[in-house]
A and B are shown apart, each in its own frame.
Chain A
Amino acid sequence: MSEDRISRLYPHVQESLLPRAWSSKDRWQFIKLSRGNLRVHYNGQGKNHKDAASVRATHPIPAACGIYYFEVKIISKGKNGYMGIGLADAKVNMNRLPGWENNSYGYHGDDGNSFCSSGNGKKYGPTFTTGDVIGCCVNMIDNSVFYTKNGMNLGTAFQNVPQNLYPTVGLQSPGEIADANFGDRPFMFDIEGYMLEWRTKLREQIDTHVPSRPQDSELDLTLKKLVFSYLIHHGYCGAAESFAKTTSLYFFEDIPSIQNRQAVQRLVMQGLISEAVAQVQQLYPNLLSEKPELLFKLQIRNFIEMIATLGGASQTHPYSIARLMNGKEQDEDKMDVDHKSDDTSESTDQQPNRRALEQLLLFGRDLASQNIQNEELKKQLKDAFSLLAYRDPRQSQMGYLMEPGQREQLCADLNSAMLESHGLPRQPPLELAISQTKNCVVKMLESGMGSGAYTGLEKQVKCSLKPQQ
């Protein structure tokens, strides 16, 4: 359940990169941890500020969170309640309370002051003590920090905070105890509401953004072109024609050509590879000779389809295949096969299947004899051949090769090749534009731009926006 809450709060962050507990290594000696490193105890003398002790969380706050929040509950204020809650970068001295050092920020319970890289506090909010829940929110869109007390927003405490800060808590008197909540349990403050406000703000910003180049304001026209070229690329002729009529766009490939491409693709999707290849040779005479690797892929696919159409166990029994491949006498083989098929009732089907099997093997041998250098293709061929080893290839490890969905990629490759010969892009610009959008948002997250987390892109189209750290 808590995993769900965390992934809903921070959908674009790898969970392993989030702060989930206090660090047992990154603390001053007077800090003791318990309860899965979520509870901090003060263990020192607590005589003066030289006895201050802080601890950082295990991870810094990733910018890809957009907005980050954690809460600390004061279990006991101990002797004096000299407790500070806030943030610090990796190098801040832990022998100090949060806020006293450079790049350290804190809100202290004894005086309610905020401390911003200084030993002198500023008036900020109320004091806090045993039973209070203090929250700290880092907004990486406007680089500000605010605190909450028992669910109430106390207002902005700091602005222009740097990146890569760690949640930090500091104690200074005996008996002080505090529990942290990094998202495992529900928060007192309505952080989801706050995040929603910012999501809306950002969406508005995006919707009303005036592009830096005036020609980009012609979004309607751009979209018309993108949709049109998409329809043509994938051969949706009827839709393309209707669309062109109402938008007065011009076709840059004539309809018969689009229909031909469609026809070839349909053949591939049906597994009729030889027919598809014949069509391509007719329509685009040089295409396959210029692309030997594509031709080879088509032949491998053909081989797999031939295995699939043979079907049934007895025809592709390793024993019969092995004997055939070893060039045994035909009569001898026939006898063996007949002998083996005593159990089955399909004796009349034996002859055509045998011929199909022979053709299959001839085809396979021809493939294997081609001198292919490409390692990837060699592997594909080997995988295809391995299907022969099984009684029921579909159930085997390589069985997935026989699924109709496997034809899709080859279909797309062939379509791209045909389009390329017309001087048209290998991929529809619409698809490229959407990929580019995704890439740019991920780039924003990788570059520490928190607003990238709230674009709402993932609501428009299913995609993962987690940066690879």
Chain B
Amino acid sequence: MMNSFEAMEDSQTSEWMTQLESAPVSRSEMNILVMDYLITEGYRDAADSFMKEAGVESSIDLDTMSERIKIREAMNEGKVDQVTEMINDFDPELLDMKPMLYFHIQQQKLIEFIRANKMEEALTFAQRELAPHGEEHPEILPELERCMALFAFPHPESSPFGDLMKPSHKHLVAGELNAAILESQNEQTTTKLHSIMRILLWAQDQLTQNKVSFPKMDDISSGVISNTL
């Protein structure tokens, strides 16, 4: 990585830091962004408390959020049958429109069978449900193959495909599901904070690529600027 700090003036850095700390965004605007995040990501209780504590309005009715939240929470816990039932009550066409999402949900069911060591049931399920789906939608085949490979290992969690067994995989599918529901309701699928952070990552890379020197925020979650003189 280019380190052109030797060339940068001390005064430029301190001016940058002063601007950084002088809060161009008001508290009320910040709170709107955070509220938008909590709602879009489905953190119902946090949104409720935040609304009271910060005095922010919610942009959508928190009750219509409930179904989406329940579905998301069930998915986070890997309760696939419950999830499928709820989705079909909520929006029967949703899974038809999104074969990849449907596959991911079914795949999770398979993973849960494997986790519970119900190998026979897992195999039957794979043959009955997943294989035909793969025939109809060939784009899922590479992922299906990965998943089936779990059968080959006595300890799937420590196999090369162990990431599928982690809780984070459930969260991933839950996120995908959440976005699909939002999309089907014509709500924004990504939070404003996500958009802003993506601009940050892109802009820093663009500047670096163009060899412009500037104080870079290497660790965004801590807000620390590295490379100060």
Contacts and interface: CB of A to CB of B under 8 A. Distances in A.
B43 interface: yes
Given A209-B198, A242-B49, A447 B25 contact: no
A209 B208 CA distance: 14
Contact of A226 (B47, B52, B193, B202): B193
B195 A456 contact: yes
B223 A461 contact: no
Interface residues of A, number: 63
B21 interface: yes
B210 interface: yes
Contacts, number: 185
A429 B222 contact: yes
Contacts of A221: 221
Nearest to A446: B212
Interface string B199-217: 1111111111010101001
A455 B201 CA distance: 12
Contacts of B204: 440
A379 B217 CA distance: 36
A236 B210 contact: no
A211 B201 contact: yes
Interface string A212-241: 110010011111011101110010111111
B208 A212 contact: yes
Contacts of A238: 49-50, 52-53
Residue in A222, A236, A237, A439 whose Cβ sees the most chain B Cβ within 10 Å: A439
Interface stretch (B27-35, B107-115, B137-145, B155-163): B27-35
A222 B37 CA distance: 13
Interface stretch (A23-31, A34-42, A430-438): A430-438
Contacts of B222: 425, 429
B53 A237 contact: yes
A102 interface: no
A405 to B, nearest CB: 11
A128 to B, nearest CB: 37
B116 interface: no
A211 B217 CA distance: 13
Nearest to B212: A447
Contacts of A463: 24-25
B205 A209 contact: yes
A212 B214 contact: no
B16 interface: yes
B197 A219 contact: yes
B22 to A, nearest CB: 8
B32 to A, nearest CB: 9
Given A219-B198, A222-B221, A435-B24, A430 B30 contact: yes
Contacts of A234: 27, 54
B19 A239 contact: no
A2 to B, nearest CB: 29
A225 B219 CA distance: 12
Nearest to A436: B217
B202 A231 contact: no
21 contacts: A222-B221, A223-B197, A225-B221, A227-B38, A236-B54, A238-B49, A239-B38, A239-B46, A239-B49, A239-B53, A431-B25, A432-B21, A432-B223, A435-B21, A435-B22, A437-B196, A439-B20, A441-B199, A455-B202, A461-B25, A464-B24
Interface of B: 16, 19-27, 29-30, 33-34, 37-38, 43, 45-50, 52-54, 175, 191-208, 210, 212, 214, 217-218, 220-225
